[in-house]
Amino acid sequence: MIAPIVIVGNGAAAVHACMALRESGYGGQIRLYSDHAEPPYNPMLTSYYVAGRIGRAECFPFGGRELYDTLGVRARPAVTVARVDALARIVETADGPPVAYSQCLIATGASPVIPPVAGLSGPTVFTLRTMDDADRLRAAVEGGARRALVLGASMVGLKAAEMLRERGLGVVLADVAPQVLPLAADAAAARFVQARMVEAGVHLRLGTGLAGVELLTPSEGTAGGGAAPRPGAPTPPLRARFTSGGSVEVDLIVVATGVRPNLEAVDRGQVDCDIGVIVDQHLQASVPGLFAAGDVAQAPSLVSGRPEIVGLWANACLQGRTAGRNMAAAAAGDGRRCRAAGSGPAPGHATAACAAAARSVGVVGPTRSGETETASPLLPEAYPGSLACNITHAFGMTFASVGGPTGRSLVTDCDAAAGVVRHAAGRAACRLKDGGGSAPGEATGTQIPMTSAAATLRVPQLAWAGFCEGLTDNPDLREGA
């Protein structure tokens, strides 16, 4: 009997791999391991759930547990894969016998990193990624927390700050960087965003690290640091001290200082890894039969050509789908693998964005109908998920980006009077547009005049204007889609 295809993980990449396997005609066994018991959820919706903008059920874009029955996938909830022996093609779990596989996808995602600061732990310190994180934070917010410190001025930090302000908390946001969005915006763009945040009542402490956190006794607590407590607020239980001097007293701390790929199950002695699992443009790892997709995979970037992690929802979907197609092709003994470019509609906004300009990045590989799409003459090195594109909202602004969150974006033009920040340059390009009170699900940006970023991207066909059109017109761009 042929061993099953094993999927390790239960997020967007895992689900899309399962769907692609079935759509591509793979009729064999699929086993999926998840280290939690929930159906697959969308981590990027957790801040909206904590804010009370959406209900818990809306965080599960693929529905409930019936998903895997429908796909004919044998799911093992709450079973952590401890080790993948990629040479023997075996997965090992904490309980139960080892399971042999024919092919395996690592789709384990990433987890928040908590910096090693004295006292930065315990029940009033939170991260934002899992449903468990979100449930705990929502309970704390609804349980009377009045003041919060958000650590990290990344997009996740900004969303956390926005969500806490919406809930009426006093919020201090701190970062060692001298500006918000240090990896994505230049100083001019950051100033624009910072002004909006201050208007919304966020107290910024930039250019300072956290020196330590102390639990306060009930007799302590003097309201320091800018976020004034409401009358009658409970005594803040924490004092956070900054490296630059000064401190704030808060009820809770949200840590948004980045994520690290979940590589615990991967044997670095067998499989090439850097920050994540190194894969080629087919999403295949260095050992035959092993694939990786999503936040755990370090795949060639369309823009830089280097292996990069693209920590975005649509890329996780596209990469999972690409890996699924390739595993199906390998199972069928079909050498035609999914790499690049087709003309058909494909899921996700990376595809949509490129399609607007070049109609080229899509899904290829054998399908159930036997159709095989060919590589694009325009973007031969592209594969679904190879281009980072994102659109999101915070503090009434729409943030759109293309190129890669790990790459620096440079701003060439900032027209605050027109409510527009124009970014265009470098190996990444980014755009911020005043969206005017947008809500999740609304892509409110309109096309803006741009200097051409295309010339600075490695792919000249990726016209910036076309990108913007695709970005704003495409329903796939909607958050949570």
Ligand X SMILES: Cc1cc2nc3c(=O)[nH]c(=O)nc-3n(C[C@H](O)[C@H](O)[C@H](O)COP(=O)(O)OP(=O)(O)OC[C@H]3O[C@@H](n4cnc5c(N)ncnc54)[C@H](O)[C@@H]3O)c2cc1C
Query: Where on the chain is the footprint of ligand X (CB under 6 A)?
Result: 8-14, 33-36, 43-44, 46-47, 80-81, 107-110, 128-129, 156, 159, 262, 264-265, 294-295, 311-314, 316, 390, 392
Least distance from ligand X to the Cβ atom of residue 181, Å: 13
Q: Provide CB contacts within 8 A for 377, sequence distance 6+.
A: none
What amino acid occupies position 57?
A
Using CA atoms of 64, 68, 71, 73 in order, give the dihedral in degrees to the nearest 10.
180
| Residue 132 CB, nearest approach to ligand X (Å) | 10
**Residue 333 burial (CB < 10 Å; 0-12/13-18/19+)?**
exposed
Between 18 and 411, whose beta carbon lies closer to ligand X?
18
- Give the residue with the Cβ less far from ligand X, 14 or 457: 14
CA distance 323 to 166: 39
Phi then psi dihedrals of residue 472, to 5 deg: -85, -25
CA atoms within 13 A on the CB side of 84: 32
Residue whose token pair is 């280290």: 35
**Comparing C-alpha atoms, which of 27, 86, 100 is closest to residue 292?**
86
Residue 163, both tokens: 């969500």
What's the first-to-final CA gap in the chain, in angstroms? 38
- State the nearest-atom distance from the C-beta of 35 to ligand X, in Å: 4
The residues with which 261 forms a beta bridge, in sequence order, are 110
* Complex with ligand X: residue 79 or 204, whichever CB lies closer: 79
Q: How far is the CB of 70 from ligand X (least distance, A)?
A: 19
Taking the complex as a whole, the smallest distance from the CB of residue 211 to ligand X amounts, in Å, to 26
Question: Smallest gap, in angstroms, from Cβ of residue 95 to ligand X?
Answer: 13
**Token pair in block for residue 192:** 């624009």
How far is Cα 258 from Cα 254, in angstroms, rounded to an integer?
12
Comparison of 17 and 378: residue with beta carbon closer to ligand X: 17
Q: Which is nearer to ligand X, 158 or 331 (CB)?
A: 158
Q: Are 8 and 81 in contact (CB under 8 A)?
A: yes
Residue 232 CB, shortest distance to ligand X, in Å, is 31
Which residue's CB is nearer to ligand X, number 16 or number 241? 16
- Report how far residue 21's alpha carbon sits from residue 28's, in angstroms, rounded to the nearest whole number: 9
Q: 243: buried, middle or exposed (CB in 10 Å: 19+, 13-18, 0-12)?
A: middle
Note the residue count of the chain.
481
CB–CB of 149/250 below 8 Å?
A: yes
Q: Decide whether 166 or 413 has the Cβ nearer to ligand X.
A: 166
Smallest separation (angstroms) from ligand X to the CB of 298: 12
Q: Which is nearer to ligand X, 33 or 192 (CB)?
A: 33
The DSSP code sequence of 154-166 is SHHHHHHHHHHHH
What is residue 273's DSSP assignment?
A: B
Min CB(278)–ligand X separation in Å: 16
How is residue 468 annotated by DSSP? H
Closer residue to ligand X (CB): 84 or 174: 84
Nearer to ligand X, 32 or 358 (CB): 32
Question: Residue type at 382?
Answer: A
Query: Which residue, 390 or 456, has its beta carbon nearer to ligand X?
Result: 390
Share of the chain residues as helix, strand and coil, in percent rounded to the nearest 5 = 25, 25, 55
Burial of residue 155 (number of CB atoms within 10 Å: 0-12, 13-18, 19+): buried
Least gap, CB of 149 to ligand X (angstroms): 17
Indicate the residue type of 402: V
Minimum distance from CB of 429 to ligand X (Å)? Answer: 16
